[in-house]
Structure formats: C-alpha cells, structure tokens
Structure 1
C-alpha cells in the first residue's frame, strides 16, 4: 500500500497544475461492513493534507449477481460519510452514483 500512497501524494501535489483535468481523483466504494466512519475520516484527512481541492467520489454499493447477499449502501450512511469528508476539509466531495441509494 505504501507505493499507492506515495504515488497519490506525488500526483496530488501536481493537482493545481491542471485543475480543468485533475491529475488526482479519489474514490471509495462504500461497502457496508467493510468501510466505516473511521476509515472514511482517515482517507479524507489523507487527501485533504495533500490538497483539499482534490475531487473525492464516494460510490454507493448496490449488490448484483454474485453478491446479492450483501447489503446496499444506505442514503443516510452516504450522507454521513460526505459530511465527515467535509469536516476533514475536503472541498469537492460527492456521492458519485446517488441513484443507487
């Protein structure tokens, strides 16, 4: 994981060089039971420390086919995660696929 973090830091520091087509963009799949408030907070803090204007998409999980036994992301959880990210200083955070909520 260290290489991924270092690469993201490197790209993130160059984010302002090309704001119209960002070098760095982050996303997290919100799988219930796998991603929680603390993890979202840590990710948001990591991104905000690099550059709070880096876009961050939180992706709702909606199980299909093989994963039908998994729960879907609840709207209230996604909204709470967005607020956590904003509280950590991120300026461009959103739910990337809100129609699945």
Structure 2
C-alpha cells in the first residue's frame, strides 16, 4: 500500500511541475516575450541567473538521494524537488537560445 502512496505523491509533483510550465507559457504569451526579444533581454538574463542554479541544486540533491537513500522519504522529496524545479532550467535554456 505504501508503494501506491509514493506513486500518488509523484503524480502530484509532476502535475505541479506541469502547472508551473503552463503558467510560465501563459505569462510569456501575455507579455509577448517572443514578439520582441530585445525588449526583454534583462528578464531573460535574470531567468538564466535564477533557473540554472536552482535546476542544478535540485539535480544534485536528486543525484545524491537516489543511490544513497533509495526508497526513503528523502528520495521522494528529492524527486519532487527535481520535477517541480524542472521548468526553471528549461526556461533558462530557452532564454539562452533567445538571448
């Protein structure tokens, strides 16, 4: 039964990550970021400065938790942090390509 609860928790993390991606795309569309990229250079640079470190930190935590603490709450937390923070490095990569 515990295994099912873990899967449900993972589903919640994934859905929250998807929600963050959708909110980001809606905000970018509303502010017409792709229509005039040069107007948003400062925001794109800020997105890189925030997105890369947070994504790297979440990846390091998950990389530590998976082999060292398999099947524990720490691994579940690390996986959730990695999934929820995934939109930030993805947005930073996109900002790098655009900028």
Same fold (TM over 0.5): no
Bigger Rg, structure 1 or 2: 2
| Greater relative CO, 1 or 2 (CA 8 Å, sep 6+) | 2
Structure with the higher helix share, 1 or 2: 2
Structure with the higher strand share, 1 or 2: 1
What is the TM-score when the length of structure 1 is the normalising length? Answer: 0.28
What is the TM-score when the length of structure 2 is the normalising length? Answer: 0.28
